[in-house]
Amino acid sequence: MNPAGSLKVRLPTGEVFALPIHPDERSLAGMLSAAGLSLNTRCGQRGLCRGCEVELIEGSLTVDGATVAAPAIVKACQARRDGHGTIRIPARSRVEHRPQVGETFAIGIPYAHQPLFTPVPGGRDTGFAVDIGTTTVVVLCVDLVTGAILSRAGGFNEQIRFGDNVITRIEAAAKPENLAAMQRAIVHETIRPLLLQAAERAGRALERFAGGAVAGNTTMLHLLVGEDPTSLGSAPFTPRFLSGRQVLAGELQLIVDGLSPEIPLQLLPGIAGYIGADIAAGVIATGMAYDEVPSLLVDIGTNGEILLQSNGQLSACATAAGPAFEGGGLRCGTRAVEGAVSELRLGLNPFGLELKTVGDVPAGRAGGICGSAYLDFLAMGRSSGLLSSKGRFEPAAWEQVPEPYRHQEDRERALRLPAGRPGGLTISEVDVALLLQAKAAIGAGIETLLETAGIRAADLGRVYLAGGFGMHLNLGHAIACGLLPGLRREQIRVVGNTALAGALLALVDRTTLEEMATLQARVEIIELNLVPGFEDCFIEHLSLP
Amino acid sequence: MNELHPLTQAIIAGKRKEVPDLVAQCLAAGESASAIVEHRLVPGMAIIGEKFKLNEIFVPEMLIAARAMKEALKVLEPLLAAAGVKPEHIVVIGTVEGDLHDIGKNLVAMMWKGANLGVIDLGVNVPPARFVEAIREHQPELVGLSTLLTTTMPAMRDTVKAIRDAGLSVKIVVGGAPITREFAREIGADSYAPDAGSAVDMAVALLQGKA
Ligand code: B1M
């Protein structure tokens, strides 16, 4: 028996195993992750969400310095070993839901057929396009002779266990062993199986692959090639490289039976530390660089990127929404996984509340609420008069909400949705305050960029809304709550995963790659921190219009 | 309780456009700049802090109130300086090296001003040596360090170390979204404030503890 006590884990399969002792592991969530059981620590292990709750079924744990005895539900990120105990991990706390992968996209330009790798009929005639997102990765298998997409495969970026956003990964990379482990996670554990899957679906032997094109943000591309991204973690955020490097499969340790280690992977060129190759890809794939009218590209994720084209002049800014639209930090927030509440309709007079879930799972089994539904709530909460411009429940309107839909805890009021776990899912005023910060960062970013260039929102001929979140949100509501301030629905084109589109383009028409490479010199980067009016603008945007 | 002064009400409600006129009215009525701060602004920010603690208002409303307060100080600070009014307590604040986020830091600074502390704001991306230099120069009783990036937490550690190594006896309070009590303790800060409301309580407690 060791002095630190033993901690056992019971899996849903009934299997029980003892957690090994890690001297430097801090929280239970950390210990579990080291043992290969990553929990849904989406708020960054800050104890703000309920993503990593586990059941303590026997013994005790230390939570916040105090001993908690079984039976209890504890947040694994806040719990530490305390003598003996057995825990059970409920399925909802594991990171194993397949994400909704952004495989859909639109290419807005005509393109030629000049493959990046000259196909040899009967020989190497197949290529692959990869988008490495911080959360999800997609691989397309492409016929280099015809340019046709043969198959797709998508999944989680296995680096997620090192942190769910770029900054936490940069931080993790400070340890050389992590840098190597993250490279292995993306190459060996993520791209390799997806490539195998895509090749199989396409019915192409790996011997036929001639090379690939890879898009991703600057941090993801650093981690792919094993470059230290530390300098991207603090001002002035200078990347080690932005240029469109070519690396060989063998150099990356992308080792797949049949795949030649000599085939190249072409990384797309980036624009700046926080305006990466994924955005460069989008600029070319949407065709916005060639628009005759002023146009805007907006990619909403934890980091939002905004790029403006006017008279051929390009300027861009990065803004930091944070994880709220992915459910991070919110009481009942979740990613857009199956069973998440994804749409919400709210009326006050008479009171009415309708919900829709991803995959049409019955509301009773809904596992959480995702960004698009929160956005619905912001817009309809405000238009119905339930929310004030400051994002608080209006006292008189609150009284009109029927009792079962009202929830109050420690002076914090919340709307209770008839869904999910016993007690329902809630949207609280604190959740709203966090959502307002996220939408303000994007809204103020758009407004500041437009203002700097002297363009009004109304003058934009086109607005390309890229990214997975953009595909699932209600545009009217995004406009109404100020996420896309001052825009009209007719201006907006939802273009999906333009990073993937750009990787595909580069693969089938190498001249587009050259165009992407010119962007770094052409795009003027606006550092929002240095724009004097940004703070004021952000504060203005914390209100609901 | 007395009806609150219109200026105090405007601060609480964050009506910044009304603030300059209300300040001018107070001045016209013969109130001194320091009396306006003490009797009109300080009570307003105290109420804001209280409401924040009670969950009656959140960060957005606090920011809006702080902005109204800033409007008032724009008029009053030059007058205070001209009159040679020296605040009783001096504090220094800044965002650590490598980080340019300052909205949270500015809010803390404004709340401290609202508690009638003399605040010297070093801005963002402040290297440890600059903190040390400013502490030597201004002799504050308290220094506040802020950071919003997990990647610049080591810079916060370095700053605390530099201040200690320089043998300066100033109290250090740290805060910002990624900071935890545990981290604050680990790096040897005197105190951690999770939000701008508690940053005020903390500062007042530390300053009084010293007195
Ligand atoms: C001394 O004692 C004390 C005591 C308490 C103290 C204290 C000191 N300091 C703060 N407090 C505390 O009191 C305050 C009030 O209660 C609180 O302060 P806060 O600052 O937390 O709250 C403010 C009042 C309002 N909140 C904020 O000001 C931060 C909001 C978010 C959206 C945010 C903003 C606005 C910005 N950003 Co930035 N930004 C995010 C934020 C995400 C989020 N939703 O929180 C965050 C912090 N950013 C992040 C990042 C990565 C970045 N940002 C960047 C840029 C920006 C903007 C320019 C767009 C803008 C900053 C404008 C400015 N002048 O500060 C980049 C570079 C910044 C830089 N150059 O240093 C960039 C590096 C990348 C990017 N995509 O642009 C993330 C950090 C992730 C991490 N794990 O570290 C982030 C969490 C968003 C995300 N992507 O997840 C407490 O923390």
DSSP string of B2-43, one letter each residue: PPPPHHHHHHHHT-GGGHHHHHHHHHHTT--HHHHIIIIIHH
A232 and A318, same domain (yes or no): no
A442 and A325, same domain (yes or no): yes
User: B171: Cβ–Cβ under 8 A, 6 or more apart, which residues?
Assistant: B141, B142, B143, B190, B191, B206, B210
Q: Is residue A121 situated within a structural domain? A: no
Q: Is residue A113 situated within a structural domain? A: no
A447 and A305, same domain (yes or no): yes
CATH number for the domain spanning B191: value is 3.40.50.280
Q: Is residue A99 situated within a structural domain? A: no
Chain B positions touching A44 (Cβ under 8 A) are 150, 178
Residue B107 Cβ < 6 Å to ligand 1: yes
CATH number for the domain spanning A31: value is 3.10.20.30
A264 and A320, same domain (yes or no): no
Closest Cα to atom 48, ligand 1: which residue? A320
Residue A422 has pLDDT above 90, yes or no: no
> Percent of chain A, pLDDT > 90?
68
B66 and B95, same domain (yes or no): no
A173 and A301, same domain (yes or no): no
Measured between alpha carbons, how far is A282 from A466 in angstroms, rounded to an integer? 8
B148 and B171, same domain (yes or no): yes
B150 and B55, same domain (yes or no): no
Measured between alpha carbons, how far is A268 from A284 in angstroms, rounded to an integer? 11
B66 and B117, same domain (yes or no): no
Total domain count, chain A: 3
B130 and B55, same domain (yes or no): no
pLDDT digits (tens, 9 = 90+) for A483-539: 999 999 999 999 999 999 999 999 999 989 999 999 999 999 999 999 989 999 999
Task: Give the least confident one: A30-39, A174-183, A351-360, B128-137.
Answer: A30-39
The residue segments making up the domain with residue A75 are 6-93
B52 and B146, same domain (yes or no): no
Residue B172 Cβ < 6 Å to ligand 1: no
B153 and B101, same domain (yes or no): yes
User: B25: Cβ–Cβ under 8 A, 6 or more apart, which residues?
Assistant: B7
Q: Which amino acid is at A438?
A: A
pLDDT band at A18 (very low <50, low <70, confident <90, very high): confident
Which helix (H) or strand (E) covers residue A519, if one does? helix A510-522
B134 and B165, same domain (yes or no): yes
User: What is the CA(B102)–ligand 1 centre distance, in A?
Assistant: 8
- Nearest-CB residue to B150 (from A171, A391, A538): A171
**Average pLDDT in the B3-22 region?**
94
Which of B151, B181, B182 has the highest number of chain A CBs within 10 A, making it the mutation to test binding with A? B151
Q: Is residue B47 situated within a structural domain? A: yes
A314 and A453, same domain (yes or no): yes
Q: Is residue B10 situated within a structural domain? A: yes
User: A138: Cβ–Cβ under 8 A, 6 or more apart, which residues?
Assistant: A101, A102, A103, A130, A131, A152, A153, A154, A194, A497, A500
A352 and A497, same domain (yes or no): yes
β strands within A89-148, DSSP E: 126-132, 136-143
Q: Is the Cβ pair B60, A543 closer than 8 Å?
A: yes
pLDDT of residue B53: 87
CA distance A229 to chain B (A): 11
Residue B103 Cβ < 6 Å to ligand 1: yes
B41 and B106, same domain (yes or no): no
**Average pLDDT in the A67-94 region?**
85
Closest Cα to atom 45, ligand 1: which residue? A322
B181: closest chain A residue by CA: A64
B78 and B55, same domain (yes or no): yes
The residue segments making up the domain with residue B193 are 90-207
CATH number for the domain spanning A130: value is 3.30.420.480
Which of B24, B47, B82 finishes a domain? B82
pLDDT of residue A111: 77
B186 and B122, same domain (yes or no): yes
Chain B positions touching A230 (Cβ under 8 A) are 151
B120 and B197, same domain (yes or no): yes
Q: Which amino acid is at B6?
A: P
What token pair was written down for A468?
A: 């997975």
Q: Give the residue, A387 or A81, on which the prediction is more confident.
A: A387
pLDDT digits (tens, 9 = 90+) for A265-312: 999 999 999 999 999 999 999 989 888 899 999 999 888 999 999 998
Q: Is residue A371 situated within a structural domain? A: yes
**Average pLDDT in the A214-226 region?**
98
Neighbours of A231 (CB within 10 A): 18
pLDDT of residue A100: 43
CATH number for the domain spanning B75: value is 1.10.1240.10
Mean of per-residue pLDDT scores for chain B:
94
Which of B33, B58, B82 finishes a domain? B82
pLDDT of residue B211: 39
pLDDT of residue B158: 98
pLDDT of residue A2: 40
- Nearest-CB residue to B98 (from A234, A390, A538): A234
Q: Is residue B11 situated within a structural domain? A: yes
A133 and A256, same domain (yes or no): yes
pTM of the model: 0.87
pLDDT of residue A97: 40
For residue A161, count CB atoms less than 10 angstroms from its CB and return exposed for 0-12, middle for 13-18, buried for 19 or more: buried
Measured between alpha carbons, how far is A326 from A324 in angstroms, rounded to an integer? 5
A259 and A387, same domain (yes or no): no
| Cβ contact A234:A219 at 8 Å | no
Q: Give the residue, B204 or B129, on which the prediction is more confident.
A: B129
Chain A positions touching B55 (Cβ under 8 A) are 410-412, 429-430
Closest Cα to atom 89, ligand 1: which residue? A322
pLDDT digits (tens, 9 = 90+) for A47-79: 766 678 899 999 999 888 889 998 999 999 889
Q: Is residue B67 situated within a structural domain? A: yes
A317 and A395, same domain (yes or no): yes
Chain A positions touching B60 (Cβ under 8 A) are 390-391, 433, 436-437, 539, 542-543
The gap between the terminal CA atoms of chain A, to the nearest Å, is 62
pLDDT of residue A3: 42
Q: Is the Cβ pair B55, A529 closer than 8 Å?
A: no
pLDDT of residue A1: 35
Q: Is residue B14 situated within a structural domain? A: yes
**Average pLDDT in the A202-210 region?**
96
Candidate ranges A17-21, A25-29, A145-149, A240-244; pick with highest mean pLDDT: A240-244
Q: Is residue B1 situated within a structural domain? A: no
Q: Give the residue, A288 or A109, on which the prediction is more confident.
A: A288
Total domain count, chain B: 2
Chain A positions touching B101 (Cβ under 8 A) are 529
A314 and A263, same domain (yes or no): no
